[in-house]
């Protein structure tokens, strides 16, 4: 005969909440990166006909860097994905 002993189940820790980029910090960062890449791309496209194309090219990278910093600031202000304490 079998004994009726309770089984002990060891469950993994809870899964952290996932937003898959549906946060204010993620949206602001991605819009800024997209805008910066478009500015840099436009600078490359008009490079043949305009003398200040390097300014647009560098300005695009400045916009990308600024959007990354703004995204980090927004995440640290609590507008990003929540972290789980373990």
Q: Residue 58's pLDDT is what?
A: 93
Among the listed residues 19, 22, 34, the one whose alpha carbon sits nearest the alpha carbon of residue 67: 34
How many Cβ atoms sit within 10 Å of the Cβ of residue 10? 4
Enter the pTM of the model.
0.73
Residue 19 has pLDDT above 90, yes or no: no
Q: Residue 86's pLDDT is what?
A: 55
Q: Residue 37's pLDDT is what?
A: 97
pLDDT digits (tens, 9 = 90+) for 21-80: 789 999 999 999 999 999 999 998 888 777 788 899 999 999 999 999 999 999 999 888
């Amino acid at each position: 005969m079998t004994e009726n002993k309770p089984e002990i189940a060891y469950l993994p820790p809870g899964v952290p909440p996932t937003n898959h980029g549906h946060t204010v910090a993620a949206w602001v960062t991605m819009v800024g990166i997209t805008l910066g890449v478009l500015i840099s791309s436009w600078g490359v496209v008009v490079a043949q006909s305009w003398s200040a194309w390097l300014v647009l090219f560098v300005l695009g990278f400045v916009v990308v860097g600024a959007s990354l910093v703004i995204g980090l600031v927004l995440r640290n202000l609590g507008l990003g994905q929540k972290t789980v304490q373990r």
